[in-house]
Structure 1
């Protein structure tokens, strides 16, 4: 059984400057060909983030567009926060992004494979700082889903 949707609560400011809740809703995952689900939680086209910008850039990402309107979900010009749900036994392809990624394993365990052949099993509560390396994710469990929270930020190209 797939994991429940992620609840996304966004805060902001009222006209008088006081803090308020802007939204509180479940974010539906978008299924990839291997069964993995990606929930686009928040994104911004540049850093620093403009906390007064009301646009929900994550809605554009969820429609399969990057900030230039092209279908590129991984390399970002600013920052993007996502939840990634990996079904039992699923594996991603080996890939590299031009980003620095903060990855937290929230549920289950995953195997992180590098193109060098090195592998690490990561458990719930573990954190990975992904520095633009070629990698693949596998959920080795035969029956349980895994969930990752990932914050993707623009980085300089690898030389």
Structure 2
């Protein structure tokens, strides 16, 4: 599977559908060696408009108000990142987002870790991540490829529990 995806964007010209863009994604970052994040598309309203938004590529973006991000992620094995989660301690990459995320595992496998438990995900599995503390742990020997749609969401009224540091 490609590390950096190709993006094909359709559009209209003279009332007929066309391919407006066909190129390798240029908005790519590598926050840790092998951890590739490509933000493919963004919207800033619902209903969405058909124009492209300039995307700031950060590990944990602020999704535009009433908007979305479409993201391609390659997560290398933990051992390649030098990540070790000490027994009884939160995973070092535990984080919380204020988005509703639809995540599809395309290739490989990865553990989804939340505060009270974890589960192994494999290609074809889908996660609905609803603004909770979570981390990804790739304990295999191969990268895991994910596609994610991050949607702006209202924060829950339930008091969030801060993890102990």
* TM-score of the two chains, using structure 2 as the length reference: 0.79
CA RMSD of aligned residues (A): 2.1
Partner residue in 1 for 2:55: 60
Aligned length, in residue pairs: 144
Partner residue in 2 for 1:152: 150
Native 8 Å contact 1:3 1:145 kept in 2: no
Consecutive unaligned residues of structure 2, counting only runs of 5 or more, are 84-91, 158-165
Q: Work out whether 1:88 is the aligned partner of 2:87.
A: no
Native 8 Å contact 1:75 1:97 kept in 2: no
Q: Work out whether 1:73 is the aligned partner of 2:30.
A: no
Secondary structure of 1:144's aligned partner: coil
CA distance in 1, matches of 2:118, 2:2: 25
Consecutive unaligned residues of structure 1, counting only runs of 5 or more, are 65-70
Native 8 Å contact 1:107 1:147 kept in 2: yes
* Structure possessing the higher radius of gyration over alpha carbons: 2
Residue 34 of structure 1: how far off its partner (Å): 5.9
Residue 17 of structure 1: how far off its partner (Å): 1.6
* TM-score of the two chains, using structure 1 as the length reference: 0.82
Residue 115 of structure 1: how far off its partner (Å): 1.4
CA distance in 1, matches of 2:30, 2:20: 27
1:2-21 → structure 2 map (5 Å cutoff): 3-14=2-13, 16-21=14-19
